[in-house]
Structures are given as structure tokens and as C-alpha cells.
Amino acid sequence: MSHVMPQPCGDVPGPGAPRTSPGAVSPGRPPELLRPAGGITLRRRSPAHAPALNAAVRANLDHLRPWLEWAAEAPTPAQTAELAAAGSAAWDAGTDFIYLVGLDAEPGRVIGSFGLHGRIGPGALELGYWLSADRLGRGIATAAARAVTGAALALPGIGRVEIHCDEANTASAAVPRRLGYRLDRIADAALRAPGETGRKMVWVKEG
């Protein structure tokens, strides 16, 4: 499958663009819209997306619960709205960049989320993701992760992207493997979700 990569961000924010905050991982920001091939679009998550996001999470709880701590209970609409507002603020601050995945053929529906998190040290971002159970096995996760990886490595000051997943989560591990990430290490980790083994795979892609 072919993929359309996002354009690099500028090295210096222009007028009205967000500037580096004390916790920012880069002086730039990734594109707010990514369009990989395959009829999908990734959009910056905003408070306006909260109802569709809440519906998607609630419909996929059984699918997500084994691997994601936050999926232990169904979120209320208010909780999802609060999360979306916090995520929008984090994007502006330059600490996290969260995208929602949608189908061009089904406008308004959310089928997953891909996020870049500035929690692994300077010069790097961690990529986390989930996809609706009814959309697995179609190349969507790989296409989306490739686009988001490219957007991350195009940011000034970012030279590394990591994907962390439990050793037992073979579906998630298949994504970095397909994209040419290198398995850097397998480390002990605290158990946070029922499907985890406590052995965390750390995949690395360098720009």
C-alpha cells in the first residue's frame, strides 16, 4: 500500500502559531490534518470530536480493555469532553499531539486514535495508538502510524520515535515491525492492564 507523507513543520513558528512552552518537546507543531492513502484521515483531536470519540471508545471496551488501563470502565460523555479539552491544550503547549482516525466514506465516525507523547525524554516522542475492532487487518493502523511517525520526525529537534507495547500484544507489535522500527529492548514493566505480561517491548525509529 502506498502512503502520502505529511509536509515538514517549519523550524520557527510564524505569527499566531504556538511557541515553545517550558514543557514543549519541539518549537514546531505537526500538521493538524494527515491524509494517508486508503480512504482514511487523521485529524487533530478537538473538543468538538468528544461525542464521536466517546461512542467509539464505549463500542470497543472489550477490545481495548486487555491492553489499556484507561479502558477498565466506560467513560462518561463529560469525561471524554474533559479529555479532549486537555488534549487540545497539550497540543498548543507542544507536549502531546493526538489525532483521531476517520473514514472518508463515513464522515463523523471515529475509528481510532494515534498520539505522540512527550514523556520519554528530550529529542523523542512516544507513539501510542488504538483502532476499532471492526477495522483491524485492513492496513489502517500501519498507514496511520507511518504518517504520524513521519510527522513526528519532521519536527525540529525530534530525532527518535518509540512505540511501547506489551510482549503479548502481537497485533500492536506488528505495526512497528512493518514500518522498519528496530526492537531496541524488552524491559520489565508494571502490570497496568489484564492482558499484560509485565514485559514491555520498546521499538525505535530514528530520523
Average pLDDT of every residue of the chain: 90
pLDDT in tens, 87-139: 999 999 999 999 999 999 999 999 999 999 999 999 999 999 999 999 999 99
pTM, 2 dp? 0.88
Where helices occur in the chain by DSSP H, the ranges are 50-59, 61-64, 77-93, 140-153, 170-178
Q: Which domains does the chain have, with CATH numbers?
A: 33-206 (3.40.630.30)
What amino acid occupies position 2? S
Grid coordinates of 3: 502512503
**Could you give the 3-state DSSP secondary structure of residue 6?**
coil
* Residues in the chain, overall count: 207
Whose cell is 461512542? That residue is: 55
**CB 82, CB 27: distance < 8 Å:** no
pLDDT at 10: 26
pLDDT in tens, 21-45: 558 999 999 999 999 988 999 999 9
